[in-house]
Amino acid sequence: MNIHEAIRTRRSIGKVSQEPIDKAVIEQILEAGIYAPNHRLTEPWRFFVLRGDGRKQLGDALARIALAGEADPSSPENEIKAESAKKKAFRAPVIIAVAVSPAERHDIIELEEYGAVNAAIQNMLLTIHALGLGAVWRSGEPCYHPLMNESFGLRPQDKMLGFIYLGVPDMAPPQAKRAAAELKTTWIDG
């Protein structure tokens, strides 16, 4: 698959089978991530590969976050809420949690560190697609919660940027819906 085809045909695949993914394939995906563009070569990405019972770490974090601030976490309603949050970690056989760990140097712009990690995630998603696998990049409020950092041993200045749910596709890819580039482009010629 050439790069143009990969970019144009990659889609978020939210439903995958529980078929295991070989460690060598996951390593190939991670390798693609580390070749993302990165100003000053700080390599600010951190990857956590969750498989099998390792997915409990994410499930427990999601449950803790779901109950954070609840007056009675042990109420029947909140127990259901926590169990529902835990189950999210088992929707795919592999989850790659991706975090940014910004360098602490005066010459580093923190926003560029985030950009590098987002580019790493895109490299990984394109590689997953080219390998014939499916994935969806999930984020949202729980991703950025301080308890998520705590659950993965991240520093306060670090941030989880998303979870790549990875597996063998168990759905047809959705159709692409994008506005034409010309509608989003301003040409400035001198």
Q: Average per-residue pLDDT in the chain?
A: 96
**Tokens 């969750």 belong to which residue?**
50
User: Tell me, what's the pLDDT at 57?
Assistant: 98
* pLDDT (tens digit per residue) in 84-143: 999 999 999 999 999 999 999 999 999 999 999 999 999 999 999 999 999 999 999 999
Domains of the chain with CATH codes: 3-52+91-172 (3.40.109.10)
**Tokens 């803790």 belong to which residue?**
64
pTM for this one? 0.95
Handedness of CA 125, 129, 131, 135 (dihedral sign): positive
The span from the CA of 95 to the CA of 159, in Å, is: 17
Say if residue 7's pLDDT is above 90. Answer: yes
User: Tell me, what's the pLDDT at 161?
Assistant: 98
Say if residue 176's pLDDT is above 90. Answer: no
Counting residues of the chain whose pLDDT is more than 90, the rounded percentage is: 97
The span from the CA of 161 to the CA of 121, in Å, is: 9
State mean pLDDT over 43-47.
Answer: 98
Q: What is the DSSP letter of 154?
A: -
Give whole-number Cα distances, 160 to 72, 102, 114, 136, 183, in Å: 27, 11, 10, 16, 33
With bands split at pLDDT 50, 70 and 90, how would you rate the model's confidence at 33? very high
With bands split at pLDDT 50, 70 and 90, how would you rate the model's confidence at 190? confident
User: Tell me, what's the pLDDT at 39?
Assistant: 92
User: Tell me, what's the pLDDT at 80?
Assistant: 96
- What does DSSP say about strands 159-167 and 94-100: parallel, antiparallel, or unpaired? antiparallel
With bands split at pLDDT 50, 70 and 90, how would you rate the model's confidence at 1? confident
